[in-house]
Amino acid sequence: MKAVQIINPSEMKVVELEKPTVGAGEVLVRIKYVGFCGSDLNTFLGKNPMVKLPVIPGHEVGAVIEEIGPDVPAGFEKGMNVTLNPYTNCGKCASCRNGRVNACEHNETLGVQRNGVMCEYAVLPWTKIIPAGNISSRDCALIEPMSVGFHAVSRAQVIDNEFVMVIGCGMIGIGAIVRAALRGATVIAVDLDDEKLELAKKVGVSYVINSKTENVHERMQEITEGLGADVVIEAVGSPVTYVMAVDEVGFTGRVVCIGYAKSEVAFQTKLFVQKELDIRGSRNALPADFRAVINYMKEGNCPVEELISKVAKPEGALEAMQEWAVNPGKVFRILVEF
């Protein structure tokens, strides 16, 4: 079968692999579309310390069930559109014991700590197969990244009378915006790109701030009548936005961090104490978050055409990744179609 493999930094090619066979408790899926994640871009650029090369990337998946192995419970059928839960959990670490399997200490995500599924076929345990109803295979590839944003809102415990500031309007930030708006919050989106901010308005944002051309603090004070945000979700991963999150959250507010900053961040730690902040990490997603995204997408309100920046064939994956590397701020999702 055909697969895309990152061999070395800046080196990617199509390889031939043996088609996997299904075993007990497993499901064989025919991969239709796979999205390139930011972690895949970092792998391509040689900036992902969690990856050992060569690796097959890919964990944002739209697939169809091809074959069902023995001992798989009822509810899975050949031809069913599905997405995949790409994470593992050990069942023994503190996170797993506390029921937060998404943050397993020993997690191995497809395409990161283990080979991903940017290939024609894949076999997974039935527990990792998520039926997606009438959502197309192409659009199924958007479910996982949006679920990460959905999970951040769950971590923030957002309610309907709150101001929620989302910093970063990429795919994950858009997911956070959608779920916060669905919960009835007043959402404020911050980004450097006007096109992304315009899209944010379509998915529930009440206010937008271009941090390149506007004074973020003055605008936040104006919007919140001097109180600051009840919740700030950091979905960029830079020292500037981490500091912004702590500065702009109100007293007794919650800061939820999704992005990984590539360098150390210097905070005025007095704000942690003076504001009595809750600072929370948010990692991956839970099955409930996947289901919530699927329910949202079934309603037909998701602007999927605008979230898909490009669709490439496997042979065009290298060129697509090179284009993304040149201008990462302009891309939502690049999909590879098999």
For 131-187, write each residue's pLDDT tens digit.
999 999 999 999 999 999 999 999 999 999 999 999 999 999 999 999 999 999 999
69: confidence class by pLDDT, cuts 50, 70, 90 = very high
Give kind and range of the element (H or E) at residue 199.
Answer: helix 194-202
The total of other beta-carbon atoms located within 10 Å of residue 168's CB is 27
Torsion of CA 80, 84, 85, 89, to 10 degrees: 100
Q: What is the pTM of this model?
A: 0.96
- pLDDT band for position 230 (50/70/90)? very high
pLDDT higher than 90, residue 330: no
Residue owning tokens 């109803």: 133
> Could you tell me the pLDDT band of residue 305, with boundaries at 50, 70 and 90?
very high
Phi first, then psi: what are they for 221, rounded to 5°?
A: -65, -40
Handedness of CA 21, 27, 30, 34 (dihedral sign): negative
Indicate whether 262 pLDDT > 90: no
Averaged confidence pLDDT in the chain: 97
